[in-house]
A and B are shown apart, each in its own frame.
Chain A
Amino acid sequence: MYGSLWRVLPGPVWLRILMLVVALAIILFALSTWVFPFVDALLTPGQPVTVDP
């Protein structure tokens, strides 16, 4: 999967690496901005901190 991604990318090695780094940055930003908060809301309450009867 990742091997074929590397093969379909055009250009010299430095350009392919640059593209992958940019893509990774976009993915990480999207994850922490939208995906992780959404998952976090699904997982809550998480660690309980209150005393309850």
Chain B
Amino acid sequence: MVRSAIGVAGELLVTAGVLVFLFLGWQLWIQGIALNNAQTNEASGLSQQWNASPVGPVAPANTDPAASTGAPPADGSSGVAPVVMAAPAETKQFAVLYVPRFGADYKRTIAEGVDAKAVLNAGGAGHYEQSAMPGAMGNFAIAAHRDGWGSPFIKINELKIGDPIYVETQDGWYTYRYRDTEYVTPEGVDVLGAVPQVPDAAPTDRLITLTSCNPLYIASERIIAYGVLDSFTPRSAGAPAEIAGLTGKGA
């Protein structure tokens, strides 16, 4: 009787152990597949919706004051001043991120806010609400998971200087070019500044900042990747060539 009770207890413990490993495997693999499929579909849905109902001429209130003064992007590679949308409602998906270095068909949604449950655990990126909007003078800062929940930023350490980072909004496509990477402590909020690491400085560049955890699976630090705006392509001009085949296409 005692022996069989011990036997049953042992089998239950082994079963519990197997369940834990199944959960870990599901979290890193199965859930990622499901989230990435959902992300691809949601991103395509956003592009299709924006194509179907363009916002038309943007009201002056929505444009970046710096842009409306006629100043071209920092490097002057495009004559089109970037349109800057107004901040969206919290948790609303307002942009699509394309990073060819992360995968030929890589696209993820960007939603407002960086709350884990409300935004990041859906497998996309989240926008730091205190940072600028895409194309604006200053810093457009986003965060995403690096391991688990679809691992959208798992290859953030593989970016090479000059790699394009495309952000699509209702207004068009912002092409950023990867500039450099920095590693900071989890408290390093100055990376989100209009001029990263120089609090209160007046911005002179239009930046994008990607934050994620480092090292992989440990997350005692944060990895920060910076990019600089290269050009803005209005929706009427069509998507940049490199991602033209990718926008609006389903999984």
Contacts and interface: CB of A to CB of B under 8 A. Distances in A.
Interface of A: 1-2, 28, 31-32, 36-37, 39-41, 44-53
B211 A49 contact: yes
Interface of B: 7-8, 11-12, 19, 22-23, 26-27, 30-31, 114, 116-117, 120-121, 126, 128, 143-149, 153, 184, 186-189, 191-192, 211-213, 217, 219, 222, 224
Contact of A49 (B26, B212, B217): B212
Contacts, number: 80
Given A1-B8, A31-B26, A40-B31, A52 B186 contact: yes
Contacts of A50: 114, 120, 126, 128, 143, 211, 222
20 contacts: A1-B7, A2-B11, A28-B22, A36-B23, A41-B117, A44-B116, A47-B146, A47-B147, A47-B219, A48-B213, A48-B219, A49-B143, A49-B146, A49-B153, A49-B213, A49-B219, A51-B143, A51-B189, A51-B191, A51-B224
B20 to A, nearest CB: 10
Contacts of B30: 32
A1 B101 CA distance: 51
B24 to A, nearest CB: 10
